[in-house]
Structure 1
Amino acid sequence: MKPLRIGIVQYELAPLKMEADFWDGIRRDADQAKADGVQLLIYPEYLTAHLLALSEPLAHDEAAPYLDQFTDRYIHFFSDLSRDTGIIILAGTHIRRVGSGYVNEAYLFFPDGRIETQQKLHLTPEERNCWHLSPGNRLNIIDTDFGRMAILVCYDIEFPELSRIVAEQEVALILNPIYTDQAAGYYRVRHCAQARAIENQRFVALSGMVGSLPYIPQIDAGYAESGCFSPCDFPFPANGVLCITDNMQKDLVIVDLDLTQLKRNWEEGQVSPYRDRKPELYQQLAGQPSQ
């Protein structure tokens, strides 16, 4: 399987004077990534929510239709950008209308025009009670020239069942676009992302937001340190951190992933938590009457 150079965008929330500022900033990121040889570029959850900076403050039930009006522009822009740069782009997530409701959906754009999507499966209380979003109900296993990938959006990484399911579908890389506005939220997601990498012996790439827009209630602040994680075992770093931003500022971190190294971990690591599972024992223990 081919090695893969990924670029992880730590995206900055900042005032926007006009809509073009948003799209132009993303294009500059992609141009830099192309110059650096990036093959997969990853943006965070709620990327297009930055466009709320162009509006007067809105209630959540007003913000969802406001963002949905950018859906066609979003899809066309990133389709063209992926084709022009030759980079696979995870364009964060976007709120769009589906039926009578709205979903938080990630889009993965390919240079040949292919588009893969993944709706967020587990919604936070704010997404349920304020945004009134609808959860997704399917996992998309994505075949690429670099191996299989899956997208778990922010909170979804905190549920180990999902990562185990995608690992059993031979996914090597889990993409984890996130939006967290406080340290506690970030570290919940970060530590779970690292746990999923360890217990499933997979790569997990996390992209988040920093910055501040205090007058926009939906994205008033961002707190994140974006990076990519591996098992804490041979041949990877002892702490399982392949790369991480070293500040709370806009950044692009780059790392080369090699599936052959991941396979060496499966075969030569000191432990193999994925292979050494005991599903039959767990079922037996779960069925035991409580004492």
Structure 2
Amino acid sequence: MTSFQIAAAAYPCQQYTHWDDYAAHLSRFVAEGAATGAKLLLLPEYASLELVSLLRPAVWNDVQAQRPLMQQFLPGMLDLHSRLARQHGLYLVAASFPTEAEAGHYLNRAYFFAPDGRHSHQDKIMMTRFEAEEWGIEGGSAGRDGGQAQVFETELGRVGINICYDAEFPAMAAAQARAGMEVLLVPSFTGSAHGYTRVRVGSMARALENQIYAVHAPFLADARWTYAIEAAVGAAAIYAPADPGAAQAPNGLPASGIVAQGEMNAPGWLTYTLDLALTREVRRDGHVLNARDSLRLPSSLSADVVRL
């Protein structure tokens, strides 16, 4: 397939009283994304934390106590997303979840559902300071269940996921691109404009370096009722290498590297048709060939200090 429609969510946090309220809200939101004609829907990092509202208020601000209690919601969440993927006949990346992969060991896991309801997952590898130091979430690279970069073979093409902070480091996306990834999905949860900018710039850099699309979906929240969330900001966006390719088609890739972008902190879906022929042409015969030339860098490359 050379083109398909994708939708990135700027997903607004809700506070619930009952599980059925969550299921109804998510079902409506996914239905809105499906109604755009998108074949792949991307939800943000940690938007599942709105389920903290279903726990007793005494633990709303105790992030470590929340981790084991959240596990009761995981089977229902997986069933719900599987049903929605089947119902709408599309690929669906669920909001990442603090999953207990082994007893007492928690990973930030994004579940990726196929149109037939089956799912796989990508674990976050690089932890932020909050995750590691306060919350006790481990990086997937710790070698527990999962713990490596995945590339998902889909009917739409090869897709990879970098969860938020992961997108700020080149190595993971580079490995995925070498395995044939053409679209990088970046679900994020950033509590400030500073954090949002870091993930945004990282996503744009990964698109540039690997000459692929990067799709950014942020969590939005004003949830002072829980320390697990507090605030979340951002804008959904789709990035590409800033290179028109040899053909220099009038409808080619934009000079800004920003293919599409929603309004800051405005909830909803950003939908766009990705034309993989454009990025393939850039990788084949662009003004520069970042993806090819990066392979020429020696793995043992080091820097010498020169005194002036």
TM-score (norm 1): 0.94
Query: Which residue in the other structure is 2:158 paired with?
Result: 148
Q: Is the 8 A contact 1:48 1:67 kept in 2?
A: no
The alignment partner of 1:102 has SS state of: strand
TM-superposed deviation, 1:161:
0.9
Query: Which residue in the other structure is 2:171 paired with?
Result: 161
Separation in structure 2 between the aligned mates of residue 165 and residue 104 of structure 1, nearest angstrom: 20
The answer for unaligned runs of 5 or more in structure 1 is: none
Query: Which residue in the other structure is 1:28 paired with?
Result: 28
Report matched runs for 1:1-291 at 5 Å: 1-55=1-55, 56=57, 57-100=60-103, 101-136=105-140, 137-234=147-244, 235-277=252-294, 279-280=296-297, 283=300, 285-286=301-302, 289-291=304-306
TM-superposed deviation, 1:282:
6.4
Q: Is the 8 A contact 2:233 2:264 kept in 1?
A: no
> Taking structure 1 as reference, are residues 132 and 268 closer, same or farther at Cα in structure 2, changes over 3 Å only?
same
Query: How many residues are paired up?
Result: 289
> Taking structure 1 as reference, are residues 19 and 261 closer, same or farther at Cα in structure 2, changes over 3 Å only?
same
The alignment partner of 1:127 has SS state of: helix
Separation in structure 1 between the aligned mates of residue 270 and residue 102 of structure 2, nearest angstrom: 38
Separation in structure 2 between the aligned mates of residue 281 and residue 138 of structure 1, nearest angstrom: 23
Partner AA of 2:23 in structure 1 = W
> Taking structure 1 as reference, are residues 14 and 192 closer, same or farther at Cα in structure 2, changes over 3 Å only?
same
The alignment partner of 1:69 has SS state of: helix
TM-superposed deviation, 1:255:
0.5
TM-superposed deviation, 1:118:
0.8
Q: Is the 8 A contact 2:46 2:219 kept in 1?
A: no
Partner AA of 2:163 in structure 1 = V
Q: Is the 8 A contact 1:2 1:145 kept in 2?
A: no
> Taking structure 1 as reference, are residues 278 and 118 closer, same or farther at Cα in structure 2, changes over 3 Å only?
closer
Separation in structure 2 between the aligned mates of residue 122 and residue 167 of structure 1, nearest angstrom: 18
Q: Is the 8 A contact 1:211 1:249 kept in 2?
A: no
Separation in structure 2 between the aligned mates of residue 28 and residue 242 of structure 1, nearest angstrom: 27
Deviations 1:31-85 (A, max 9, x none): 1222221100000000210111233124111111121111100111101110011
Q: Is the 8 A contact 1:102 1:133 kept in 2?
A: yes
TM-superposed deviation, 1:15:
2.9
Mean CA deviation greater in 111-120 or 168-177: 111-120
Partner AA of 2:273 in structure 1 = D
The alignment partner of 1:254 has SS state of: strand
Partner AA of 1:34 in structure 2 = A
Separation in structure 2 between the aligned mates of residue 267 and residue 121 of structure 1, nearest angstrom: 30
The alignment partner of 2:293 has SS state of: coil
The alignment partner of 1:277 has SS state of: helix
RMSD: 1.6
Q: Percent identity?
A: 27
Q: Is the 8 A contact 2:91 2:113 kept in 1?
A: yes
Separation in structure 2 between the aligned mates of residue 21 and residue 132 of structure 1, nearest angstrom: 29
